[in-house]
Amino acid sequence: MEKAFKALLVQASGELPPRVHDLVRLAELVRMPEELFPELDELSRVYVLTRYPDAIPADIKGYGIEQVRADKHEEVATGALQWVKDKLSTGS
């Protein structure tokens, strides 16, 4: 999702996007509806593990995400990506 938001920024400005990984900050920059920010904030915090798997020491047991939360994160990401695709296709 980070790259999708950055694609919108490049489309809008023609310049390189900022070196930011925070999904909420990127959502602000692309003017995504604010009601999605809390869900993006939670997703932003958990996706660090997929991007940087060494961020959590191996000796910490039981660290992970249960299926219900993972499903919710997938739903949020899917919705946000569709929003970006709509914006990219209209050029706005």
pLDDT category of residue 92 using cuts at 50, 70 and 90: low
Q: How far is CA 83 from the centre of its chain?
A: 12
Please compute the mean of the pLDDT values over residues 73-88 and round it to a whole number: 93
Structure tokens at 1: 């999702």
| Per-residue pLDDT tens over the stretch 3-43 | 999 999 999 999 999 998 899 999 999 999 999 899 999 88
Q: Please count the residues of the chain.
A: 92
Q: Please count the structural domains in the chain.
A: 1
Structure tokens at 76: 């949020």
pTM of the model: 0.78
Under a CB-based contact definition with an 8 Å cutoff, are residues 37 and 12 in contact? Answer: no
| Per-residue pLDDT tens over the stretch 43-68 | 888 876 667 666 666 666 656 677 88
Range of the domain at 14: 2-90
